[in-house]
Amino acid sequence: MPGPLAGVRILDCTEIIAAPYAAALLSDLGADVIKVEPVEGEPWRLQNQFIPLESRSFMQLNRGKRGITLNLRDERGREVFYRLVPTADVVVLNYRPDTPAKLGIDYETVSSINPGIVYVWNTAFGRKGPHANRPGYDIISQAYSGIMTSWGGERGGFPVTMATAIADFTSALVVCWAVTTGLYDREKRGRGQLIDTSLLATAMALQPGRFFSIEELDREKIEAMKEGVRQARREAQSYAELREKVNQVRARGGAAVADSPGNIYYRTYRCKDGFIAVGNLSAALRVKFQKALGIEDPRYSGDPELAPMTEKGREIGRKLVEVCEAKFLDHTVDEWLRYLDQCGVPSGPVLFPEELWDDEQVLANGLIVDVEHAMLGKVKMAGPPVQFSDTPAEARQASPPLGAHTDEVLCEVGYAAEEVAALREAGVVR
């Protein structure tokens, strides 16, 4: 049964993680995704190869696509691309702003060939501004956007990223959103358009609590917090000290600090045989947690002197942390999960990805799928994260070996077998 995007053709000129994964998700929805790679292969195919020109990460991020190779710096390679453009609905790319024009695949050129094209361009910092042409990866986005200092950890006195490439993978979902919205808009207006996305924009959107203020009420507070952070940067002798000083600045400004003293409601705990996470983000859930653990927390009694960020509140919080941590050590993870479920307290085990291969919840929802790779046989991977009742999403095939569908795709746009052979001889295709 065809997926909801059956009949849509996407030219996928992407590399590394964010945009390639977006195109794979669109393939799961039934789109015909043609991965256009340089003749030598895109960089992620070459990263940690376990057989020549194949890496595990590339295979996960590029499933379901047909693959061709094109040297777009060669006029003959660009001519192949220009023949493909009229057959396509979407172009997705994630080059730096100065690159597409150099390759002759910029929006102006592509839309002059096909005015209906939906052209989705994911960059690191956006196409404007002083950093527009700088290269960027997830780690740089996490650093620049503040995710690293807010959500990341510390190792050896240095800030580190979140373990998951959060800006990359969330940007993939934003790109999917952009593509499907662009297609819907084209149905109404009869023409395509250029759509911008960026890792920086996504990373900022993930932090709504950090980027919200009411001008009339918060102007002075924001200025004070900005100056406080700058002063902390000047004074701190280590990253740990810097983070502590910035957290103090945030607390004075009324901002929530995830690792503040006294956080007993939204954190992880050590149990007898592992770790558990609890999430209590409302007053009602805080009450349930208190009842479940047999504790009282006067910080939320309404007495302003005992509020969490006051000196008395901090002292109460420190004592409560010790009490709660000791209680969790008395029982196993499974015992706590059953008990907290009965009490209506949200909780879950802290697992490692390796434990999910045979997890009953994962298997029950079909979140691990099998696909057949042309060179490696059956491959298991995480499957589509969305399902439709009538037009199912499906991992339809594995990632393509480099250039596997070059002849097939070129023949579809009118190249004869001898012409393809000549392009291959000239190094324009592989």
CA–CA gap between residue 100 and residue 116 (Å, rounded): 19
CA–CA gap between residue 392 and residue 34 (Å, rounded): 20
Could you read off the pLDDT of 247-265 as tens digits, one per residue? 888 877 766 555 566 889 9
Q: What is the mean pLDDT of residues 10-15?
A: 98
pLDDT at residue 152 is higher than 90? no
- Could you give phi then psi for residue 94, rounded to 5 degrees? -140, 35
E strand spans, 47-187: 66-69, 90-93, 118-123, 153-155, 158-160
Bridge partners of 379, per DSSP, are 371
DSSP string, 340-385: HHHHT--EEE---GGGGTT-HHHHHTT-EEEEEETTTEEEEEE--S
DSSP state for residue 127 in the 8-state scheme: S
CA–CA gap between residue 219 and residue 123 (Å, rounded): 31
Whole-number pLDDT of residue 255:
66
Whole-number pLDDT of residue 256:
59
| Among 69, 48, 68, residue whose Cα is nearest residue 59 | 48
**Is the pLDDT higher at 254 or at 210?**
210
Q: Are 319 and 298 in contact (CB under 8 A)?
A: no
Two structure tokens written together for 44: 């992620």
- Measured CA angle at 21 (ends 19, 25), to 5 deg: 115
CA–CA gap between residue 125 and residue 140 (Å, rounded): 10
pLDDT at residue 340 is higher than 70? yes
Two structure tokens written together for 274: 């592992």
Could you read off the pLDDT of 341-391 as tens digits, one per residue? 999 999 999 988 888 898 999 898 888 999 999 999 999 999 988 777 888
Could you read off the pLDDT of 41-56 as tens digits, one per residue? 999 999 889 999 999 9
User: What is the average pLDDT score of the chain?
Assistant: 92
CA–CA gap between residue 277 and residue 337 (Å, rounded): 10
Whole-number pLDDT of residue 213:
80
pLDDT at residue 306 is higher than 60? yes
Whole-number pLDDT of residue 365:
85
Whole-number pLDDT of residue 199:
95
Could you read off the pLDDT of 173-184 as tens digits, one per residue? 999 999 999 999
Whole-number pLDDT of residue 425:
96
Whole-number pLDDT of residue 248:
84
- Measured CA angle at 387 (ends 389, 384), to 5 deg: 155
pLDDT at residue 210 is higher than 90? no
CA–CA gap between residue 339 and residue 292 (Å, rounded): 8
- Could you give phi then psi for residue 90, rounded to 5 degrees? -140, 140
Whole-number pLDDT of residue 259:
54
DSSP string, 380-422: EEE--S---SSS-----S-PPPTTTTHHHHHHHTT--HHHHHH
pLDDT at residue 235 is higher than 90? yes
Identify the band that residue 35 occupies on the pLDDT scale cut at 50, 70 and 90: very high
DSSP state for residue 234 in the 8-state scheme: H
Beta-carbon contacts of 384 under 8 Å, excluding residues fewer than 6 positions away, are 25, 28, 29, 369, 393, 394, 395
Q: What is the mean pLDDT of residues 181-208?
A: 95
pTM, full prediction: 0.86
| Among 237, 48, 236, residue whose Cα is nearest residue 246 | 236
**Is the pLDDT higher at 209 or at 422?**
422
Whole-number pLDDT of residue 153:
80
Q: What is the mean pLDDT of residues 303-320?
A: 90
Beta-carbon contacts of 188 under 8 Å, excluding residues fewer than 6 positions away, are none
Two structure tokens written together for 343: 């009490």
Is 63 strand, coil or helix? coil
pLDDT above 90 coverage of the chain, percent: 73
CA–CA gap between residue 29 and residue 140 (Å, rounded): 31
DSSP state for residue 430 in the 8-state scheme: -
Q: Are 399 and 62 in contact (CB under 8 A)?
A: yes
| Among 351, 391, 408, residue whose Cα is nearest residue 8 | 391
| Among 347, 346, 367, 342, residue whose Cα is nearest residue 356 | 367
Helix then strand count (H, E) for the chain reads 18, 13
Q: How far is CA 420 from the centre of its chain?
A: 37
Q: What is the mean pLDDT of residues 216-228?
A: 88
Two structure tokens written together for 183: 């297609």
Beta-carbon contacts of 216 under 8 Å, excluding residues fewer than 6 positions away, are none
Whole-number pLDDT of residue 388:
79
User: What SS3 string covers 174-195?
Assistant: HHHHHHHHHHHHHHHHCCCEEE
Indicate the burial class of 130 (C-beta count within 10 angstroms; 0-12, 13-18, 19 or more). exposed
Could you read off the pLDDT of 63-112 as tens digits, one per residue? 999 999 999 999 999 999 999 999 999 999 999 999 999 999 999 999 99
Identify the band that residue 151 occupies on the pLDDT scale cut at 50, 70 and 90: confident
